[in-house]
Amino acid sequence: MAENKYVVFRLGQEKYAMPIESVERILPRQEVTRLPKSPKVMLGVFEMRGSTLPVIDARLRFELPAGDEAHNFVVVLTQDGRCALSVDRVEGIVTLSEDAIEDKSAILDGKDDGFIRGIGKHGDQLLVVLEPNGLAPKSMKNRLAAAA
């Protein structure tokens, strides 16, 4: 049975897992420059090593209540380009076998906008396993491609 590593982060009391091969780096929260008329889910942009990266507010993207606890940016590689995901706190790295991840179709019935891969079980914890290529809403995909 294949095992894969995941970066685990927290939004409020919930834990999320991102495939480690999709995570370029984890940063402390950065100052962002807000852009007029950008999608609400986009906090703005910041500079990293000569590149301008858009920042997605994970709470808004996942339709969670607003919070002011964001301490980390997770820089994610997607098929459309790189972006940073603003999260409350990165918890660490876990290893999950494929059979420890329950497919989303049994639970969500396709209503997650493509960013959820499934539900992972790690010990007595449940983790929402994310699909990196679904993180950016359709309104941002062209911006990511242009920035790439």
Q: Where are the domains of the chain?
A: 3-141
Average the pLDDT over 94-117 and give the result. 77
Alpha-carbon dihedral 106, 96, 89, 18, rounded to 10 degrees: -70
For residue 147, pLDDT beyond 60: no
In angstroms, rounded to a whole number, what is the distance separating the alpha carbons of residues 113 and 136? 10
| The predicted structure's pLDDT at residue 138 | 75
Q: Residue 144: what are its φ and ψ, rounded to 5°?
A: -65, -45
Q: Which residues pair with 51 in a beta bridge?
A: 48
Q: How confident is the model at residue 112 (pLDDT cuts 50, 70, 90)?
A: low
pLDDT digits (tens, 9 = 90+) for 33-92: 998 988 889 999 999 989 899 999 999 998 888 877 789 999 999 998 899 999 999 999
Answer whether residue 103 shows pLDDT above 70. yes
| CA triple 125-117-42, angle to 5 deg | 100
Greater pLDDT, 141 or 80: 80
Q: Which CATH superfamily is domain 3-141 in?
A: CheA-289, Domain 4 (2.40.50.180)
**125-130 and 116-122: which strand pairing?**
antiparallel
User: Is residue 144 helix, strand or coil?
Assistant: helix
Contact 104, 18 (CB under 8 A): no
